[in-house]
Amino acid sequence: MKTLILGSYVNANCLKVSQLPQTGESLLANDFWSEHGGKGLNVGVALHRLMGKVELLLPIGQDQSGDAVISLLEKETLNTRHVVRTSEQSGFGVGFVANNGDNFLAVYPGANAHLDEAHVNKALELIDELSILYAQLEIPQITVVAAFKKARTRKITTVLNPSPIQNLHPDLINLSDILIINENEAMHLFGCTHTESRLNLSDWLRNLPKWANTLQWQNSLLIVTLAERGCVALKQSSIHHQSAWPIIEQDATGAGDAFNAGVLYGLNHKLPIADLLSFACACGSLVASESGVLLNLPDLATVESFMLTRDRPVITTIDLAAS
């Protein structure tokens, strides 16, 4: 069975700084790198390296960056039949990464903003044996909504990473069978943006079911990633906390994309929830332990070796029906 990634492409440029700049502050960077990126591209390449059967719908521009990413995909042996040139300018992004791994970035969508329902419908018509449709929000929400509605008619599992965070289309949550969000995105989604400090783990375990109910969440799986604290996951009548694999963090920029690819791999292989979360956390940890994203997205052998040579982090499960 195959997974279709509703992709995005960004020519990503990162500056390494001693600390993240404050308003009006100018800093000298101590390192710089530029690479192909974008949440959709990263997840598509990552899942392909994990031996997933991937179809990637990727909007690019009529520019050198677009030409270069096609060459990259061909080198990765990833099918390019759904790469579409939707405008003159490809997506472009700039990020800052601090020495402690903290980061922020800004993205100009370029061609990503022009991916539309017609592109999605054409891809869906050409793909047989499709089991999962994955989307992120570097493309228009209305395109994702249309794709997820079509997926529902074909009983295709829909997976959403609502990032970059924004006010969501009213239909999007209910159309998403599986939701994967990071801590900041979750706080925005649940209306907790007034909180001045990070919530502790007990807050997440206690409140996530209640917050999910405020969204009328009744679907399959809701995962919140918590960086060095691992992740929490709400699955029907149980909630799980998966501890993180211990690493020395270098750059967490692409860790979420690697984690999401790990989730997709687990879904495709019907892994039990504990194994799925452990595998996804390992994928994210491997990327966070290096600088840069694309070159460090691991293949399956690397993830399996990483997991076999370290003590497996603890997973805690709470039965909500019994509590």
Rounded CA separation 248/310 (Å): 14
Task: Please give the pLDDT value at position 196.
Answer: 55
Q: For residue 238, what pLDDT band results from cuts at 50, 70 and 90?
A: very high
- 24 assigned to some structural domain: no
Task: Please give the pLDDT value at position 218.
Answer: 82
Average of per-residue pLDDT across 32-54: 93
Greater model confidence, 208 or 101: 208
In the structure encoding, which two tokens stand for residue 172, read together?
């999007």
- 26 assigned to some structural domain: no
242: number of Cβ within 10 Å: 26
Q: Which domain holds residue 44?
A: 2-17+32-319
Q: 295 has which bridge partners?
A: none
- 154 assigned to some structural domain: yes
Under DSSP, the state recorded for 19 is: S
Greater model confidence, 213 or 41: 41
Task: Please give the pLDDT value at position 47.
Answer: 98
- 184 assigned to some structural domain: yes
The CATH number given to whatever domain includes residue 267 is: 3.40.1190.20
* DSSP symbols for 257-294: HHHHHHHHHHHHTT--HHHHHHHHHHHHHHHHTSSSSG
- 23 assigned to some structural domain: no
Rounded CA separation 285/230 (Å): 9
- Please state the domain count of the chain: 1
- 22 assigned to some structural domain: no
Average of per-residue pLDDT across 195-214: 85
Task: Please give the pLDDT value at position 191.
Answer: 83
* DSSP symbols for 96-148: EEETTS-EEEEEE-GGGGG--HHHHHHHHHH--SEEEEEEESSS-HHHHHHHH
- 272 assigned to some structural domain: yes
In the structure encoding, which two tokens stand for residue 36, read together?
């192909």
Q: Where do the H-state alpha helices sit in 127-200?
A: 141-153, 172-175, 183-189
Contact 43, 9 (CB under 8 A): no
Is the model's pLDDT at 44 over the cut of 80? yes
- The pLDDT tens digits of the residues spanning 240-298 come to 999 999 999 988 889 999 999 999 999 999 999 999 999 999 999 999 999 888 999 99
Q: What is the mean pLDDT of the chain?
A: 93
Who contacts 304 (Cβ-Cβ below 8 Å, separation ≥6)?
none
Which of these ranges, 14-28, 105-119, 182-196, 233-247, has the smallest mean pLDDT? 182-196
Q: For residue 19, what pLDDT band results from cuts at 50, 70 and 90?
A: very high
Report the length, in residues, of the chain. Answer: 323
Class of residue 220 by CB neighbours under 10 A (exposed 0-12, middle 13-18, buried 19+)? middle
- 152 assigned to some structural domain: yes
Q: 5 has which bridge partners?
A: 56, 134
Is the model's pLDDT at 40 over the cut of 70? yes
Is the model's pLDDT at 123 over the cut of 70? yes
